[in-house]
Structure 1
Amino acid sequence: MAGALDALWSQYTWALGNGDPRTDSWLLVHSPIPVTLLFVCYLLLVVAGPAVMRCREPLRLVGPLAAYNLGLVVLSGYIFYEMASVCWWCLFSKAIELLDTVFFVLRKKQEQITFLHVYHHSTMLFNWWAGVKFVPGGQAFFVGMLNALVHVFMYLYYGLACLGPRVRCHLWWKRHLTTLQLGQFVAIAVHSSYNLFAECPFPDGFNMAVLLYSLSLILLFLNFYYQTYLKGKQDKLT
């Protein structure tokens, strides 16, 4: 037990002393503790939130949802436009996006809180903390730029969908949005694979981590695509 604690402490002190000095003083960046506490609170919400709401009426939250989603459209658009100088905003946006799950809990939409949803939101928080802490800028810009562009369309869709059936019936492009998300992860995987063999000073360890993470999301989103858009059609044919 003492050996494990010593190893954990060594990793913690290494993280504190080996970050990029340009970002070390920024909010959430210096220590892994703030993002870890956010992660723990997030998991507590996922586990306890549905139980707290079980005997309560679901909240509609049309106004807050519209403001939240359209606000993220603006933030994602800004990140896409100014990517070279706003890596930190990518990290900050991942913290804000944890509210996706809060809104699902308050509206009693527990079926939306899937493994893919929790995995994607929680791991993105740590991924961007590591990126801003150790390798801000450089090849990391591509991941953030592409993700921000996809989120412009994604939160625009969610923002419009929350306005009610009159608007929702015109949102025919949900399937194409999932395809766009899949294309994003394929592009990031190809980009990271290329960086492993190119003469690029960006650390190979980070390139490999991004590649493996992208592959995991490709598999999860392919399963989501099949379950959501293809399985029903196949069941009807059999």
Structure 2
Amino acid sequence: MALVLRRIFDEYHRYMTEYRDTRSVELPLVGSPWPVITIVAVYLYIVLKAGPKYMEHRKAFDLKEVIRVYNAVQVIANGVLFVAIAYLLSLRSNFSYICQPVNYGRTREGYEEMFMSYCYFLLKVLDLADTVFFILRKKHSHVSFLHVYHHALMVMITYLAFIFIPGGHAVMLGVWNTLVHAVMYFYYFLASYGNQYSIWWKKHLTRLQLMQFIHLGLHFGIPALFGIDCGFPRFWLWIGFLQAVFILTMFLDFYFKSYVRNRKSSRKA
């Protein structure tokens, strides 16, 4: 057993030495995997066990003002990052939307991509607060498998993507996700005031999310399926493609149950 563990450790150290982007080693939370593993483990423990048990015999907390501030912060943070990434892409005439390699250079463009990727990773960590708010407000029905899976996995995947492929073809994920989250948290902000158009917003927000995963599936799938080689790791193309297809399937199921089936039922009634 000791030999097996030693072999795993040696392989891990070799892989990290050969492939990890050394420019980000000194940044908070990403120098080693343990901070991220700890964050995700604590998150899962709180939202799946400790949180529900703690709230079992307590009244729901009134967090309306706290959540409004949180939503506003998310709108601003995601909106600013979306504009920043889109602006940087607009300046690069050589950026390929078919297959774009990662710029690992210690140049201005290389550090810009790395910094944007780091900011995106931090936003995924901030997203974990969503589920904690649900638990404290006793909105347990909102803590679905899709919700918890998506939040926990996104932190892990964005961490790994950041230390190995900070930018390149994966930039489009940041563009789409920051746009969708800016709109989504703006919807949450409006809904907290009982906005009369909140139902309209929710339906079209779901459609925007579907568009996101359809495009990301194509974005990662085309170079993966057709063997287009630009230097971007094939492994990460497949990860992006399969993840987009999986989440798209779950969102399609949600959309059908929430809007298509309900609309048919209301017509029959």
Is the contact between residue 19 and residue 30 of structure 1 (CA under 8 Å) also seen in structure 2?
Answer: no
The one-letter amino acid paired with 2:204 is H
Which TM-score applies when normalising by structure 2?
A: 0.82
Is the contact between residue 182 and residue 221 of structure 1 (CA under 8 Å) also seen in structure 2?
Answer: yes
Counting only pairs closer than 5 Å after superposition, residues 1-238 of structure 1 correspond to structure 2 as 1-2=1-2, 4-14=4-14, 16-17=16-17, 18-48=19-49, 49-83=51-85, 84=113, 85-163=115-193, 165=194, 167=195, 169-171=196-198, 172-196=200-224, 197-236=227-266, 237=268
Which TM-score applies when normalising by structure 1?
A: 0.92
For 2:11 and 2:27, the matched residues in 1 are separated by 20
For 1:118 and 1:218, the matched residues in 2 are separated by 16
Moved over 6 A (4+): none
- Please give the secondary structure, in 1, of the residue aligned with 2:24: coil
Higher mean Cα deviation, 147-156 or 9-18? 9-18
Distance 1:97 1:11, change over 3 A: farther
- Please give the secondary structure, in 1, of the residue aligned with 2:32: coil
- After superposition, the C-alpha distances for 1:44-93 in whole angstroms (9 at most, x for unaligned) are 01222112111111112111101101101111112112224411011000
Give the alignment's Cα RMSD to 1 decimal. Answer: 1.8
The gaps in structure 2 that reach 5 residues or longer are 86-112
- Please give the secondary structure, in 1, of the residue aligned with 2:28: coil
In the TM superposition, residue 119 of structure 1 has moved relative to its aligned partner by 0.8
Distance 1:82 1:229, change over 3 A: same
Higher mean Cα deviation, 131-140 or 100-109? 131-140
- After superposition, the C-alpha distances for 1:198-230 in whole angstroms (9 at most, x for unaligned) are 341111111111101111101111111122222
- Please give the secondary structure, in 2, of the residue aligned with 1:195: helix
- After superposition, the C-alpha distances for 1:24-52 in whole angstroms (9 at most, x for unaligned) are 22122221111111110111012221121
- Please give the secondary structure, in 2, of the residue aligned with 1:25: coil
- Please give the secondary structure, in 2, of the residue aligned with 1:86: helix
In the TM superposition, residue 8 of structure 1 has moved relative to its aligned partner by 4.0
The gaps in structure 1 that reach 5 residues or longer are none
For 1:188 and 1:4, the matched residues in 2 are separated by 38
In the TM superposition, residue 235 of structure 1 has moved relative to its aligned partner by 4.1
The one-letter amino acid paired with 2:150 is H
For 2:3 and 2:262, the matched residues in 1 are separated by 52
- Aligned residue pairs total 235
- Please give the secondary structure, in 1, of the residue aligned with 2:197: coil
Higher mean Cα deviation, 16-25 or 183-192? 16-25
Distance 1:113 1:180, change over 3 A: same
- Please give the secondary structure, in 1, of the residue aligned with 2:23: coil
